[in-house]
Amino acid sequence: MENNVFVPHSEVEKQLETAKKVRALIGEGKKAYISTFGCQQNEADSERLMGLACLMGYEKTDVMEEASLIIFNTCAIREHAELKALSKAGALRKLKERDKNIVTALCGCMAEQPHRRAQVFKSYPYIDIVFGTDRVHTLPQMVYDRLAGGKTHAVYVSDLRHDEFGVIAEGLPVVRESGYKAWVSIMYGCNNFCTYCVVPYVRGRERSRKSEDILAEIEGLVKAGYKDITLLGQNVNSYKGDLSFPELLRKAASFEGEYWVRFMTSHPKDASRELVDVMAACPNVAPQFHLPMQSGNNRVLDLMNRRYTVEQYMEKAAYIRKMIPDASITSDIICGYPTETEEEFADTVKAVRAVGFDALFTFVYSPRPGTPAAEMEQLPHDVKTARFAALCDAENEKAEELNRRFIGRTLRVLSDGKAEGNFVGRTGHNKIITFTLPEGVDESVAAAGKFVDVKVTEAKAYTLHGNLLK
């Protein structure tokens, strides 16, 4: 089975050849636009789609109206994410009326859901191609078929079924959004089936890239000057190459040069002491741990199929704090899971205060068709949103208190350059920091992609401010 996970090299080669055929068909000066919704996995997929688009002869654009190839890479995690994509996709109609030769595609997690696909077929006749999360590498063939074969309207292409493995295609070109921050997918899919979550259905089973491919990619990025590299997987702890995830992380962080390695996401049931030990021992691993708690109540965690208790979560957080006292720990919480009581929600607020999260991503529970939690009795919308608001208030207070620990300290900052008159960057803890330059210092020292030292003078809940040290 394991071998079937990898797309044969010959198939990838065939796609790259087809890309050249598209290039010959479309002529000069055509542009490609990709709109990305959802998580970093999707952003990473979009960078590969753009890599293929450029190989096909399209030039990257951020203006949809001037593009001849338009791709919507969608997310299905909550209804809100789906509605955003669908409403934006409506704008394609006008563009298509103006020029019927534009190639339009909708892909990503939403495209894997049969009911959404049916909706696209019916209500969006101006979308030419719909393809699933495992068909990224076949973009050249799909675009070629559309252009040469005249196929139009919702040609659906996907192999993914939730009881099957998906695929891994190595050797695709990538056009990255940033010249100094990079996503590196180390694995795809998810086997956890948390009862609220659509990801296992739309991304297929877990499969891991080979460590040699991952490490070669990272080495290339470091050599090319990338400074902030995030290893991606729905649950990086279940990485299954010839190395364990902590071993992979150690190697990823040991190339020559100054850079940070981060990772996400780490499932609390699998986050090991060994992983924390590697983080503590490797200076290149950023002191940031995203450890989604989801709920602070054991009955709710059990219903969610998270397979850890609040006590076990606390123990892991305490071990992180013991080994890396200054680490920033961040989390995700879902408010209003079916049957969650006021008392159970109060447990979550208590747990959030007790751990002290540097940042909290708070979500209103959104029923996902086909998942077990969607079949349960649902809480009223206003109950869910009131809990959401209460949790945000609790976190804002805590985040500001935690940020004050940085006042007076000098932090290494990766600059994002100047925006609206202010220099801005990120710390290793992944905090946003604005900073000023001392008089007479040339602005180029703090150009985007450069590491600088900043002395922190102010702290708010979600931003720091400081002065660059000469």
Could you list the residues that contact ligand SF4 (CB under 6 A)?
190, 192-194, 197, 199-200, 234-235, 267
- Which residue, 76 or 243, has its beta carbon nearer to ligand F3S? 76
- Which residue, 365 or 435, has its beta carbon nearer to ligand SAH? 365
76 binding partner (options ligand SAH, ligand SF4, ligand F3S, none; Cβ < 5 to 8 Å by kind): ligand F3S
Of all helices (H) and strands (E), which one includes residue 89? helix 79-89
- Interface mask toward ligand SAH for 77-106; x: CB under 6 A: xx----------------------------
Does 308 help bind ligand SAH (rule: CB under 6 A)? no
- Which residue, 137 or 316, has its beta carbon nearer to ligand F3S? 137
Give least dist CB 197 to ligand F3S, A: 9
**Residue with the two structure tokens 């850890």:** 308
DSSP secondary structure code for residue 242 in this structure: S
75 binding partner (options ligand SAH, ligand SF4, ligand F3S, none; Cβ < 5 to 8 Å by kind): ligand F3S
- Which residue, 234 or 427, has its beta carbon nearer to ligand SF4? 234
Q: Are 202 and 109 in contact (CB under 8 A)?
A: yes
- Which residue, 164 or 212, has its beta carbon nearer to ligand F3S? 164
Cα–Cα dist 362/335, whole Å: 7
- Which residue, 70 or 199, has its beta carbon nearer to ligand SF4? 199
Specify which residues 458 forms β-bridges with.
465
Cα–Cα dist 296/12, whole Å: 46
Cα–Cα distances in angstroms (integers) from residue 79 to residues 17, 90, 193, 346, in the given order: 38, 17, 18, 26
Give least dist CB 257 to ligand F3S, A: 30
In the set 50, 52, 67, 109, which binds ligand F3S (CB under 6 A)? 109
Q: Would you state the structure tokens that stand for residue 445, as one six-digit string?
A: 């020292």
What's the first-to-final CA gap in the chain, in angstroms? 57
Four-CA torsion 316, 317, 321, 323, nearest 10 degrees: 20
Give least dist CB 232 to ligand SAH, A: 10
368 binding partner (options ligand SAH, ligand F3S, ligand SF4, none; Cβ < 5 to 8 Å by kind): ligand SAH
Q: Are 299 and 348 in contact (CB under 8 A)?
A: no
For the beta carbon of residue 318, count every other beta carbon within 10 angstroms: 11
193 binding partner (options ligand F3S, ligand SAH, ligand SF4, none; Cβ < 5 to 8 Å by kind): ligand SF4
Give least dist CB 310 to ligand F3S, A: 25
Q: How many residues does the chain have?
A: 470
DSSP 431-443: -EEEEEPPTT--G
248 binding partner (options ligand SAH, ligand F3S, ligand SF4, none; Cβ < 5 to 8 Å by kind): none
- Interface mask toward ligand SAH for 185-204; x: CB under 6 A: -----------xx-------
Cα–Cα dist 365/376, whole Å: 12
Total residues in contact with ligand F3S, by rule CB under 6 A: 13
Does 147 help bind ligand F3S (rule: CB under 6 A)? no
- Which residue, 80 or 223, has its beta carbon nearer to ligand F3S? 80
Does 294 help bind ligand SAH (rule: CB under 6 A)? yes
Cα–Cα dist 465/55, whole Å: 42
Nearest to 434 by CA among 467, 403, 408: 467
Cα–Cα dist 359/132, whole Å: 32
Q: Judge residue 158's burial from the number of C-beta atoms within 10 Å of its C-beta, 0-12 exposed, 13-18 middle, 19 or more buried.
A: middle
- Which residue, 202 or 424, has its beta carbon nearer to ligand F3S? 202
- Cβ contacts of residue 253 below 8 Å, gap of 6+? 261, 278, 282, 283, 284, 285
Does 292 help bind ligand SAH (rule: CB under 6 A)? yes
Cα–Cα dist 48/40, whole Å: 13
Give least dist CB 221 to ligand SF4, A: 25
- Interface mask toward ligand SAH for 230-269; x: CB under 6 A: ----xx-----------------------------x-x--
- Which residue, 104 or 366, has its beta carbon nearer to ligand SAH? 366
Nearest to 104 by CA among 63, 59, 155, 149: 155
Strands 328-335 and 359-364: parallel
Does 366 help bind ligand SAH (rule: CB under 6 A)? yes
Does 365 help bind ligand SAH (rule: CB under 6 A)? yes
Cα–Cα dist 225/355, whole Å: 36
- Which residue, 166 or 292, has its beta carbon nearer to ligand SAH? 292
Cα–Cα dist 435/424, whole Å: 6
- Which residue, 104 or 234, has its beta carbon nearer to ligand SF4? 234
| Binding residues for ligand F3S (CB under 6 A) | 38-39, 41-42, 75-77, 108-109, 198-199, 202-203
Chain residues that interact with ligand SAH, rule: CB under 6 A: 77-78, 196-197, 234-235, 265, 267, 292, 294, 332, 334, 363, 365-366, 368
